[in-house]
Amino acid sequence: MDITAVASPARTVPRGLVPASVVLGGTLLSLIGLTWDIQWHSDVGPDTFFTMPHLFLYAGSAISGLASLAVVLMTTADTKRAKEVDPIVGGRAVGVFGRTFAAPVGYLISGVGAALFLVYGLWDQWWHGLYGFDAVIDSPPHIGLLLSISITMVGAVMIFAVARDQRWGTYGVAASAATLLAFSMVTVLGLRALPGGPVNTVNAGSAFFSVMILFMGAYVLKQRGGALTVAVVVAALQALFWWFSPWATEVYADATGLPLRDYADGIPGLPNMIPMSLVLVAIAVELLHKLPAWVSGAVGGVIITACAPLQRMLTYGSPFPNTERYIATVVAGAVLGALAGMLGRRFGHMLRHLVPAKENRHA
């Protein structure tokens, strides 16, 4: 049975598409705000609570959070009236605070992420009061904020994974997983706080999260080209932000009458944190699909950690790291990549469970 049959015949927009798109749109606003903010700090500098990049970040979580809240309240109202709740909208409803609220699981997660963003906003405000208006991206409260937005992004992946049997669900999984992947490349900067010995913890962490999210996308879509689709969307975001971030920064600086910093290099900050080798990794994953996930995951981890210093040489003209550090990081990339491959595959399977059981299937 085609799952679209649950939608009413008069409906032109598939059921669940509008709130899912609003949540995804919110996460994209967060990503745009982040790339713009990072560029602003490196190329211009002066900061207040109300800069445009900050407003994009706040608006992103607010829009995703309000859309999630609206869906939860509507589902709760339907449940109280004993109306049938269609699980295509965000998955099965779970009880929150006993049975006070009935929340589709995808929207529950995206909404919780948005609520956490508010809480960590207060924590960040207190931090700035104590430490000054530091522009340090990897301060503990900033990592808390980034993790909160990531949870909203995980919720967005879940919301679209529910509808993976429909075309909008497939595209949505690719777009939301790509957004999460690109965003996570900033969150991993928090790993600088870990003692890594000779290992570059940020490069190893980038490899882990890239491979995991790529595998997750590939296994939830479970079709040839799934990993490549996610990687191509990431590459498209990377290319778009490569142009957008310096451009928007310069336009905003002009509009507010601020000059660019002396020696501002204009090299896009966030897009350059995304591994350019991701498409290669995706091709390797597609070619090695018959091998266990840990093998292709390890290959992916090696490709990303081996290419990361080359990317920095290409963009920043950085020197090549010393051999010990390079080899240690590539070995860590292989181990973490293998783990990420297995985890990503399992997460993909977990997301497939969100799809409502079809009537002719006895689960």
Partner 1 sequence: MRRTLLGLAGTVALLLGLATPSLAFEPVNVVHTEKVQAGPYDLTVGFSTWPVKAMQSLDFTFAPEDGIAGKKGTLTMLHSGVAQDDGPLARHPRKREVWGLDIHAMPEPGTWTLRFDVEGPAGAGTGELKNLQVMEQPGPPMGLSWAISTIPLFGLIALIVIAWRRTRTTVE
Q: Footprint of partner 1 on this chain (CB under 8 A)?
A: 13, 18, 22, 25, 44-48, 50-52, 55, 59, 63, 109, 112-113, 116, 120, 123, 127, 130-136, 140-141, 143-144, 147-148, 150-151, 154, 193, 255-256, 258-259, 261-263, 346-347, 349-350, 352-353, 355
End-to-end CA distance of the chain: 15
Give the Cα separation of 42 and 33 in Å (integer): 14
Give the Cα separation of 207 and 219 in Å (integer): 18
- State phi, psi for 192 to the nearest 5 degrees: -60, -25
Closest to partner 1 by CB, 145 vs 306, is 145
Quickly tell me which residue has 């965003």 as its tokens: 183
Closest to partner 1 by CB, 154 vs 227, is 154
C-alpha atoms less than 13 angstroms from C-alpha of 184 in its C-beta half-sphere = 25
The separation between CA 16 and the C-alpha centre of its own chain, rounded to angstroms, equals 21
DSSP assignment of 62-106:
HHHHHHHHHHHHHHHHHHHTTPPP-TTTTSSEEEETTTTEEEEHH
Closest to partner 1 by CB, 5 vs 255, is 255
User: What are the angstrom distances between the C-alpha of 23 and each of 108, 222, 249?
Assistant: 12, 24, 26
Give the Cα separation of 309 and 317 in Å (integer): 10
Find residue 103's DSSP bridge partners: 94
Structure tokens at 145: 């904020």
Find residue 171's DSSP bridge partners: none
- State phi, psi for 102 to the nearest 5 degrees: -110, 115
